[in-house]
Amino acid sequence: MDEHHATSPTEMFRRRNALDVRGSDDRRLRRDVDSGTLIKPWRGVYRAAPESSSADAAYLTRVLAACEVAEIDKVVSHHSAAAIHQLPVLHPDHTNVHFTVNRPAGGHRRGHVLHPARLTSDDVVFVNGIAVTSLARTAADIARTGNVVQAVCIFDSALRAGATADELRDAVVRNRGRVGNAVARAALPHANRLSESIAESFSRALIIGFDDIPTPTVQHELFTPSGLFVARVDLYWAEEGMVGEVDGRAKYTADLAPGEDPGDRVWDEKRREDTIRDLDETVVRWGWQECMHPEQLHALLRRGLERARRRRR
């Protein structure tokens, strides 16, 4: 079991601490929750209300709050472990907090799910003192609960976060015989650490399922005829001469420097695309909308490949 530091615990306190140390009473706690000064992410656990909170952040707060009162034999797992590891998940389940327990049976209990399983030492790490399933085990468990597209996405996320292909394979093998593990086995050969975002993984996983769309190269580098580097593109169909670029809002807004305008990034991207087209490459772009409607992505790619093939004749 290793100690990791993927996230920091929030400033939480339990009801009994508020009553014994902070000098509060139940009436004051209820008043502070009603006024929005405090939030109560879990039974008997409080924290100061954050200024703003995304759905992912709110769920992580719930998970960490549940850990405050969890029995010692519970290991945070599945989508809850992904939240602690900060692994992007396609269609995450934020309904419940998930734990794995070394018991004969599990079940649903007031907002959390207990998964019965025997975990090995390789399956568990500690994140700020919290027992959590490892990156590989977390990915293998989530991969069993959805479809192949979701499984490819979580495997990609785990690889980007530092898991190795061997660790993923071993975790899937240890899940042999468990419900849904056939999905994980089918997805694992398609995992690729080079996909740089959940949107890229989503796109590539869908493309794998399109029988009439060739499999593209991931993060391909393009050069001029004289050998000068031009760009690294998300997806590339070499035989057809087509570039696929996955656009997401984060592409233009993430990690902006002070004073940097997202519009500048859009302009830079346009100039980059013009340079790629100068190499006689066909460029096709899409975003989350097309991924959520696979028939749209499929039609877009078919049209793009037809244009690319005509240009190469």
CATH code for position 213: 3.40.960
Indicate if 130 and 250 belong to the same structural domain: no
CA angle, corner 236, sides to 231 and 240, nearest 5? Answer: 120
pLDDT at 86: 95
β strands within the chain, DSSP E: 2-4, 12-14, 38-42, 45-48, 75-76, 97-101, 107-109, 112-116, 124-127, 130-133, 217-223, 229-237, 242-246, 282-286
pLDDT at 32: 63
Which residue, 190, 219, 242, sits at the end of a domain? Answer: 190
How would you write the pLDDT of the chain (313 residues) with one tens digit per residue? 554 444 444 576 565 565 554 556 666 667 666 666 665 565 656 666 676 678 888 899 889 888 877 777 899 999 999 999 999 999 999 999 999 998 877 787 778 899 999 999 999 999 999 999 999 999 999 999 999 999 999 999 999 999 999 999 999 999 999 999 999 999 999 999 999 999 999 999 999 999 999 999 999 999 999 999 999 999 999 999 999 999 865 554 455 566 666 565 666 777 888 899 999 999 999 999 999 999 999 999 999 999 999 987 7
Indicate if 183 and 56 belong to the same structural domain: yes
Indicate if 23 and 121 belong to the same structural domain: yes
Indicate if 140 and 238 belong to the same structural domain: no
Which residue, 174, 190, 206, sits at the end of a domain? Answer: 190
pLDDT at 274: 86
Number of domains in the chain: 2
Indicate if 207 and 251 belong to the same structural domain: yes
CA distances (Å), 270 to each of 2, 248, 273, in order? 45, 15, 5
Indicate if 186 and 202 belong to the same structural domain: no
> Up-side HSE of residue 209: CA atoms within 13 Å toward CB?
17
Indicate if 203 and 186 belong to the same structural domain: no
CA distance 172 to 143: 9
Q: 179: domain range?
A: 2-190
Indicate if 48 and 159 belong to the same structural domain: yes
Tokens matching residue 171 = 């975790």
CB atoms within 10 A of CB 293: 11
Indicate if 40 and 173 belong to the same structural domain: yes
Indicate if 39 and 174 belong to the same structural domain: yes
Q: Are 281 and 240 spatial neighbours (Cβ–Cβ below 8 Å)? A: no
Which residue, 133, 160, 190, sits at the end of a domain? Answer: 190
Q: Report helix, strand or coil for 14.
A: strand
Indicate if 283 and 139 belong to the same structural domain: no
Indicate if 90 and 122 belong to the same structural domain: yes
pLDDT at 172: 98
pLDDT at 7: 44
CA distance 156 to 165: 10
